[in-house]
Amino acid sequence: MLEVKDLEVRYGRLTALRGVDLSIREGEIACIVGPNGAGKSTTLLAISSVLAPTAGSITFDGTPIHGTRPEDVARMGISQVPEGRHIFTSLSVEENLQVGTATRSDKAEMKRDYDRVIETFPILGERRKQSAGKLSGGEQQMLAIGRALMTNPRFMTIDEPSLGLAPKIVDRVYEVLIDLREKRGLTLLIVEQSSERALKAADSLYVLRNGAIQLAGKAADLQDGKEVHKAYFGFSEDHEGEVMI
């Protein structure tokens, strides 16, 4: 569904991504893990056309989307829950969800999607008239996901859904994400710093470090963790032990 080939992104003279390849199939949950500064968020922002790649290509259902505008990408059915959530704090909860329908005119389905979001996250219904800035971190995460869903996406990217949230709320968020794939066939690309939870939820896993994919594979094949550890840190656990001694 989404093919990223040889993606390169530079911030001035700094190269953030050097030849990233991703191949995400329809209906799967893909996960990118990697340490801080590996280029995870940059990859997602490039997919959303917020950042323009200096080389490489991104195609969605065979259509190239690199070099377009963020609003074009949104219109094609790609939605993003960005790092830091980026809730509109001066808008009410309901208005935040409404902004998600910017590209749509199918009134009946919009209502259906709104009801679904409220059903998934009842707290958003209770607080729909409240200013979104007054929500807790977990509620804001739910709102960000709900808002992304209101665009009626076929493909959704989520940047660090567990960041700054209590474990219980993280569980709930992942429950919802897995449910979205099961019930609506939504394709998901999740970025996480830690690989544990991601490995449990994901069908395929990419380890990103220093702006390049170090390891890519089916999550089922990587459950052992050693390989992932090596790709993530750049050295194996045994090696680390030696250094420690």
Partner 1 sequence: MAFALQVLMNALSLGSLYALAALGIGLLFGVLKLINFAHGDFITVGAYALIVPSAATQATLMIGDFHPLILIPCIVVVVVILALIAEFLVFRPLRNASPATLMIGSFALGFVIQNILIMIYGGRPKAVGIWSDLSLGVELMPGVEVPKLQLIIIGVTLVLMVVLVLFLTRTKYGIHMRAAAEDFRMARMLGIEANRVIMLAVAISGMLAAAVSMLFVVQTGILDFRMGVSLMLFAFIATVIGGMGSLVGAVVGGFAVGAVSILLQTFLPSEMRVFRDVFVFAIVIFILLVRPQGLVMSRASRERV
Q: Point out which residues bind partner 1 (CB under 8 A).
A: 48, 50, 69-71, 73-75, 79-80, 82, 86, 88-91, 95-96, 98-100, 102-103, 131, 133-135, 147-148, 151
**What is the spatial distance between Cα 210 and Cα 212, in angstroms, rounded to a whole number?**
6
**What is the spatial distance between Cα 95 and Cα 129, in angstroms, rounded to a whole number?**
8
Nearest to partner 1 of 2, 219 (CB atom): 2
Nearest to 65 by CA among 148, 1, 151, 146: 1
215: part of which helix (H) or strand (E)? strand 212-218
Nearest to partner 1 of 15, 131 (CB atom): 131
**What is the spatial distance between Cα 46 and Cα 180, in angstroms, rounded to a whole number?**
24
Nearest to partner 1 of 40, 209 (CB atom): 40
Q: Helix or strand or coil: residue 227?
A: helix
Nearest to 120 by CA among 149, 95, 94: 149
Least distance in angstroms from the C-beta of 243 to partner 1: 37
Nearest to partner 1 of 157, 187 (CB atom): 157
Nearest to partner 1 of 9, 219 (CB atom): 9
Kindly state the tokens that stand for 94.
């309901």
Q: Is-contact 92 131, C-beta < 8 A? A: yes
Least distance in angstroms from the C-beta of 149 to partner 1: 11
Least distance in angstroms from the C-beta of 137 to partner 1: 8
Least distance in angstroms from the C-beta of 74 to partner 1: 3
For residue 178, with 0-12 CB atoms within 10 Å meaning exposed, 13-18 middle and 19 or more buried, which class applies?
middle
Strand partners, 22: 4
Nearest to partner 1 of 76, 178 (CB atom): 76
Least distance in angstroms from the C-beta of 183 to partner 1: 23
Least distance in angstroms from the C-beta of 160 to partner 1: 15
Chain-centroid distance of CA 223 in Å reads 21
